A = this chain, B = another copy of it.
Amino acid sequence: MRYTISDVAKLANVSKATVSRVLNNSKPVSDEVKKRVLKVIEETNFQPSALARSLSNRQTKLIGVLLPDIANPVFSKIIDGIEKKAHEEDYSVLLCNTRHNEEEELKYLDILREKEVDGIIFNGFHSSEKFREKLSKFSIPIAVIGYDDESYDYPAVLIDNLKASYDMTKHIIDSGKKNIAMVHGPIEDYCSGYQRMEGYKNALLNNSLKYNKEYMKKGNYTYKSGYDSAKELLKKYSDIDAFFCANDMMAIGVMKAILEIGKSIPKDIAVAGFDDIDVASVYTPALTTVHQPFELKGESVMSQMLKLLNGKEVERQIVHKYKIVIRESI
């Protein structure tokens, strides 16, 4: 059996209240008594029950983190950052892996409510109406990571996808490429889909290059969708001399397709990605891409959460710096 606060109180010849006070340093306790209590705690190896404490406290020191795919390096790094910061401040994270699935998202929201987490961090992409409505019923701090759009009113942490995408496209143009294709993400994905596409488009137009819809293909961020898109585009349009991709996995698929038809990268056809996941730097040829500070973003959103939990003000958005990392592929 594990010891309870009553056991400790009895053994130390004090009240439970007093034990609680030395435990939490919440009220002055005389040195002598404190020493006695501490000794008993030490001897019994007493650890208070977070359950009981939370029930009376109304705080669980638990943060629910809803992410669409924990096995995706983008998200595993974000959660790494969140967990790090949370752990520093004695919060724990309850992992909610929604698998890009609305049902799961909703189900998890119920669980978070039941478990009475102190706060919720989530990635807002493709969250349904139902989800948003359900979420709005919560009266605890909520923050968004790696996504944002007008419909939300929660503090968000992200990068400037539009500008990053513009800059990268500009780099490709400055390298002398003229016919730049793009494999973009789903438009409904406002940040990584729509905005990255818009940045590309704006860069073309501002640099008097033609913006040709035929050169664009929608992928779903997987290697395969990059590969397939490139295969198709390369077959149809032999003048394509560069690809900009909305993420690295698609860029790697594109590179594979290019290498397979015997073209060289970047001489014949250049490729640029987005995210700078580990593979990017390690691939041959090493991928030129937009570096995002995922862990930092994770820590940052948790910092926002901490502020909210402590009743402080937070900015509506925190925009982190990205970096154009030029390697071998363009």
Contact = CB atoms under 8 A, between A and B. Distances in A.
A70 to B, nearest CB: 5
Main secondary structure of the interface of A (DSSP, over half): helix
Interface size class of A (residues with CB under 8 A): 35 or more
B92 A50 contact: no
Interface string A21-65: 000000000000000000000000101111110110000100001
A95 interface: yes
Contact of A114 (B49, B97, B253, B278): B49
Contacts of A252: 282
B111 A92 contact: yes
A108 B43 CA distance: 21
Contacts of A114: 47-50
A83 B68 CA distance: 13
Given A113-B47, A115-B51, A70 B60 contact: no
Nearest to A253: B282
Contacts of A69: 80
A235 B168 CA distance: 38
Interface string A102-131: 001000001101111000000000000000
Given A51-B51, A71-B76, A83-B97, 11 more contacts: A47-B113, A49-B114, A71-B80, A83-B95, A92-B111, A93-B94, A249-B282, A256-B282, A259-B284, A283-B283, A284-B284
A27 B84 CA distance: 44
Contacts of A87: 97, 104
B77 A71 contact: yes
Contacts of A45: 137
Contacts of A115: 50-51, 92
A51 B49 contact: no
Contacts of A256: 282, 284
A18 B97 CA distance: 34
A187 interface: no
Given A70-B83, A79-B95, A259-B284, A51 B54 contact: yes
Nearest to A55: B51
A282 B273 CA distance: 15
A274 interface: no
A223 B282 contact: yes
A94 B239 CA distance: 52
Interface string A290-306: 00000100000000000
B95 A95 contact: yes
A202 to B, nearest CB: 30
Nearest to A260: B284
A51 B47 contact: no
Interface in A225-252: 249, 252
A329 to B, nearest CB: 12
27 contacts: A45-B137, A47-B113, A47-B114, A49-B116, A50-B114, A51-B54, A51-B55, A51-B115, A51-B116, A70-B76, A70-B83, A71-B76, A71-B80, A73-B73, A73-B76, A76-B76, A79-B95, A87-B97, A93-B95, A223-B278, A223-B282, A253-B282, A255-B284, A256-B282, A259-B284, A279-B279, A279-B282
